[in-house]
């Protein structure tokens, strides 16, 4: 599995959510409206792919990352792990 380095996170500087609070991306599981709002921000984010890759590699189990919900990432991570092995 690929190791993450500090300089692998330079993408964060271009994050569309940089000026938003973490509460807007780390939501209760039943806050569907909040998730849709966060995903709308992600949809226009220039580093969406890098964000999702980071979340899969570091197994982020909470919050919206790269436009995906925790449930969506669980499925994607199984696929990601299969490809990474």
**Sites of contact with ligand SF4 (CB under 6 A):** 15-17, 25, 41-42, 45, 47-48, 51, 64-67
**CB 38 within 8 Å of CB 70:** no
Between 49 and 84, whose beta carbon lies closer to ligand SF4?
A: 49
Least distance (Å) between residue 65 CB and ligand SF4? 5
Between 29 and 46, whose beta carbon lies closer to ligand SF4?
A: 46
């Amino acid at each position: 599995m690929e190791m993450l380095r500090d300089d692998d996170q330079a993408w964060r500087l271009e994050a569309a959510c940089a000026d938003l609070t973490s509460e807007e991306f780390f939501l209760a599981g039943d806050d569907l409206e909040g998730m849709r709002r966060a995903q709308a921000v992600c949809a226009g984010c220039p580093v969406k792919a890098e964000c999702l890759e980071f979340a899969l590699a570091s197994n982020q189990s909470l919050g919206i990352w790269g436009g995906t919900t925790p449930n969506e990432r669980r499925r994607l991570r199984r696929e990601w792990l299969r490809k990474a092995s």
